[in-house]
């Protein structure tokens, strides 16, 4: 794949996982080869949220973390309205546990009743890192 430059709030990158699909509305991080991978550690900086499902090797559009505004995200557990959010080990949002080494990625604009719910979030408000 050639070099890709973001022109606005989204970027399309090759999903670089050998065994696992990524699902829409999950967070990913950038890899050294210019591709992206599903975020599986809570202390890794996400580049954004996927907006479609992609299999390994496919191109996936990403809503960039610095885009601001709102976006959809997949909940990893029940979440209250207004909760500060972090990422779980599957790239989904969960209520932030106040550990400053974990990145705050947004604020819940609606509640989630269970893992797998799609919720609207305020993405990276004021580019806050940590809590």
Kindly report the CATH number that applies to the domain delimited by 10-131: 2.40.300
Read off the pTM: 0.84
Per-residue pLDDT of 45-68, as tens digits, reads: 888 999 988 888 888 899 988 888
Q: For the segment 9-42, what is each residue's pLDDT rounded down to a tens digit?
A: 777 888 776 657 678 899 998 888 888 888 877 7
Residue 44 phi/psi, 5° resolution? -100, 140
What is residue 2's predicted lDDT score, i.e. its pLDDT?
44
Strand-by-strand arrangement of the 106-108 sheet? 70-74, 118-123, 106-108, 84-87, 93-95
Residue ranges covered by each domain of the chain: 10-131
Q: Give residue 5's pLDDT.
A: 47
Give me the chain's average pLDDT, please.
Answer: 84
């Amino acid at each position: 794949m050639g070099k890709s430059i973001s022109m606005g709030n989204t970027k399309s990158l090759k999903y670089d996982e050998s065994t696992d699909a990524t699902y829409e509305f999950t967070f990913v991080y950038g890899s050294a080869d210019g591709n992206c991978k599903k975020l599986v550690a809570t202390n890794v900086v996400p580049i954004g949220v996927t907006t479609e499902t992609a299999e390994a090797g496919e191109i996936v559009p990403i809503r960039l973390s610095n885009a601001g505004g709102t976006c959809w995200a997949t909940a990893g557990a029940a979440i209250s309205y207004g909760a500060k959010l972090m990422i779980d080990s599957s790239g989904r949002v969960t209520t932030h546990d106040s550990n400053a080494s974990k990145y705050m990625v947004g604020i819940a604009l609606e509640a989630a009743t269970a893992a797998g719910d799609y919720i609207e979030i305020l993405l990276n408000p004021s580019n806050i890192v940590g809590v």
